[in-house]
Amino acid sequence: MAENHSVEAISPAGELIEPCLLKPDTKFDELGIFKTRLKVKADDPLAIKFQELLETTQQEEHDRQVQEAEAKKKGSGKKVKLADLPMEETEENGVDYLVFNFKSKASYIDKKTGQTIERKIALFDDKGKALTHDLKIGSGTVARISVFVSPFYTALLGAGVTLRIRAVKILKLKVDPVLTAADFGFSDEEIEAYSYGFRDPDSPGD
């Protein structure tokens, strides 16, 4: 199976974007998905090596699918396309970045017992000390991610890889700010002109 060909790797350090590492997202999967994106400068040597690892692992899965088809005598020269890699290129203020997409299932069903087994993402600080899950992790947090680069193949998507989160080492924590009324342009004067959010019907105005 493709899972047997997974490669253990550590990502380069980068900024987390919309991390969902403490409480899984259940919008599209009732079992829950942990996920985050990681933004790294495109010229970072470790980012370049990490991208090369993804491409190599994907190509090996592609070649494996072609060889298996030939071994089963389904016809040589089987056409296997390459799926999109879990990354994209972007540019901000004249600087080029690579944004990698990571995810991992938050739970799974044990085939023997039928029970749902929940998972948690292991978290560590910059010294390697384990962190509890009562902290908040916001966008902009600098981290490195331990992953399985897991190859897959489907007839629809082709040969590709998924970045499955194993653990996260937080190098610099950033918490999303708590927004106030002022952040949305409201002022004290406006608040005084209203009663519990509604304009006094006897006051002048709209």
Strands 122-124 and 158-172: parallel
pTM: 0.79
Kindly list the domain boundaries of the chain, sorted by start residue. Answer: 2-178
What are the start-end ranges of the E strands in 42-92? Answer: 87-92
Determine if residue 140 is left, alpha or beta; phi over 0 gives left, psi from -120 to 50 gives alpha, anything else beta.
left
CA distances for 138 relative to 15, 17, 36, 75, 165, angstroms: 10, 8, 11, 51, 17
- Does residue 134 or residue 171 have the better pLDDT? 171
Q: What value does the mean pLDDT take over residues 16-34?
A: 91
List the end-to-end C-alpha distance of the chain, in Å, as a whole number: 67
Q: What value does the mean pLDDT take over residues 173-188?
A: 70
- Alpha-carbon distance of 96 to 111, in angstroms, equals 45
The sign of the CA dihedral 86, 88, 92, 96 is positive
Query: pLDDT at residue 202 above 90?
Result: no
Which residue's structure tokens are 């890699």?
85
CA contacts within 13 A on the Cβ side of 15: 12
- Alpha-carbon distance of 140 to 145, in angstroms, equals 14
Task: Count the residues in the chain.
Answer: 206
Strands 158-172 and 107-109: unpaired
- Alpha-carbon distance of 171 to 40, in angstroms, equals 14
Strands 116-118 and 95-105: unpaired
Q: What does the pLDDT read at residue 188? A: 61
Q: What value does the mean pLDDT take over residues 83-87?
A: 96
Q: What does the pLDDT read at residue 112? A: 85
- Alpha-carbon distance of 150 to 181, in angstroms, equals 45
165 neighbors 147 (Cβ within 8 angstroms)? yes
Q: What does the pLDDT read at residue 187? A: 66
Query: pLDDT at residue 23 above 70?
Result: yes
Query: Which residues are registered as beta bridge partners of 17?
Result: 37
Q: What does the pLDDT read at residue 177? A: 67
Digit-coded pLDDT (tens) for 111-166? 888 888 889 999 999 999 999 888 899 999 999 999 999 999 998 999 999 999 99
Q: What CATH number belongs to 2-178?
A: 2.40.50.140
